[in-house]
Chains A and B, each alone.
Chain A
Amino acid sequence: DADVTQTPRNRITKTGKRIMLECSQTKGHDRMYWYRQDPGLGLRLIYYSFDVKDINKGEISDGYSVSRQAQAKFSLSLESAIPNQTALYFCATSENVGYEQFFGPGTRLTVL
């Protein structure tokens, strides 16, 4: 079984809808991250969490929110989706800051 899983893997939604992307990990890592990837751009950090009680904004957090329900679960929400949030979203975990990051398989989100 994969160490980092994401659901759904693909999602098509309409402008204005609320969307939740979920991430679960079995690696026992405290650090979890949400990134988005757009064509021609590098991965960009949306939010990160160093433990259940510690959540921080990344460089592009506007329009997104997160919830760290447990050490193993980190969810990303788009409260009111807009077309420029169409992207590939990755969850990642690491044992500690600066350590190797383990990525989920990605969620391809399309907002019409």
Chain B
Amino acid sequence: KNEVEQSPQNLTAQEGEFITINCSYSVGISALHWLQQHPGGGIVSLFMLSSGKKKHGRLIATINIQEKHSSLHITASHPRDSAVYICAVRSGTYKYIFGTGTRLKVLA
């Protein structure tokens, strides 16, 4: 079993839908990151969380440390949100453990 599990692996939504991507982890962490990988391959950091909730535009990320779970929400989804969303946890001094990603496709 992977130390970082994401669900779903693939997700197709209609434009305007509310989307939730989940990340569960089994190790102790000091921070959790959400990343977005564009179809061309480039990766950008969306959020870094150690507790609570963060919001940026239409994106909201939450983390529950006790339950070892984080969610990424996208409100009013748009085709430009189509990408792979990656959860990564920082465990230890330098070690990051990455999930395998959730592939999101938003249809117009």
Chain A residues proximal to chain B, CB less than 8 Å: 40-45, 48, 56, 59, 88, 90, 92, 97-103, 105-106, 108
Asked, given contacts A98-B90, A100-B48, whether A40 binds B100 with beta carbons under 8 Å apart, the answer is yes
Tell me the complex Cα distance, A105–B43, Å: 7
Closest approach, in angstroms, between the C-beta of A5 and any C-beta of chain B? 12
B14 lies within 8 A of chain A by Cβ:
no
Collect the chain B residues with CB atoms within 8 Å of residue A56's CB.
Answer: 94
Q: Choose among A99, A105, A108 the residue that contacts B48 (Cβ–Cβ < 8 A).
A: A99
Q: A99-B48, A103-B43, A105-B42 are in contact. Are A48 and B94 (CB under 8 A)?
A: yes
Of A41, A59, A101, which is in contact with the most chain B CB atoms at under 10 Å from its CB?
Answer: A101
Residues of the A chain whose Cβ atoms lie less than 8 Å from the Cβ of B88: 42-43
Contact among A42, A43, A97, A100 with B94 in the assembled complex (CB-CB below 8 Å): A97
Do A102 and B41 form a contact, CB below 8 Å, given A42-B100, A97-B94?
no
Within the complex, the shortest CB–CB distance from B5 to chain A, in Å, comes to 10
B42 to nearest A CB, angstroms?
5
Interchain CA distance A108-B42 in the complex, whole Å:
11
Q: Are B45 and A100 in contact (CB under 8 A)?
A: yes
Tell me the bound Cα distance from A42 to B88 in angstroms.
Answer: 9
Contacts of A101 in B (CB 8 A): 33, 45, 96
B63 CB, nearest partner CB in chain A, Å: 15
The reply to whether the CB of B98 lies closer than 8 angstroms to some CB of chain A is yes
- State whether B33 touches A42 (Cβ < 8 A): no
CB distance from A19 to the nearest CB of B (A): 18
Note all chain B residues with C-beta closer than 8 A to A42: 2, 4, 86, 88, 97-101
Closest residue of chain B to A31, judged by CB? Answer: B94
